[in-house]
Amino acid sequence: MPLTIVQSGEPVLRKPARPLRPNEIRSREIRELVQQMKETMYAAPGVGLAAPQIGQGIQLAVIEDRPEYTKDWMPEQLAERDRKPVPFHVIINPRIKLIGEERLEYLEGCLSLANLMALTPRARRVRVECVDENGEPKIIEASGWYARILQHEIDHLAGTMYVDHMYSRTLMTVENFTRHWKDKSLAEMKKALLGPDSGQETRQIN
């Protein structure tokens, strides 16, 4: 049975989550929680879910970008987002490092801010050190959309949400994205929402 995803305004979403201890990571309770979070992520559907989003203030998140989510997309849409399928995995007690200064901008949503999305800059490349659900250390080096997912979920573990990074002028409902912007390029969207000087280049943020 899917868990309830808490919405913006719940205190747990704005508090730094605590690290899990080694004995907790290997516990039956955490194994069961991971399975419940996986089912909840699928039901939403979403590409990631952090424990604070289901009311648990612990440093744990599940991630999967399934091929069926983009099966009807055109190659240019996938290329613009630098998006490829990502298999299911668990990250626990992650530490993230942004690699380089290049930032990519694209629309980002959140299961805890239902029916909203906004243009949000994220680092193109990241390196994450974490442990998995078996307590094994992992190093993840990611780029493009996968890097965006990792940044989004690890933000949740620090009490941060995408609205803290977004360009506020671009906040919109999913319905209005489908109605007005779905078939437009990123450059067209930026020009219309951010002004003619926004340009088509990838923005550098120091």
- Looking at the annotation, which residues are catalytic? 153
Structure tokens at 152: 């989004």
Distance, in Å, from the CA atom of 192 to the CA atom of 143, rounded to the nearest integer, reads 27
Whether the Cβ atoms of residue 6 and residue 112 lie closer than 8 Å to each other: yes
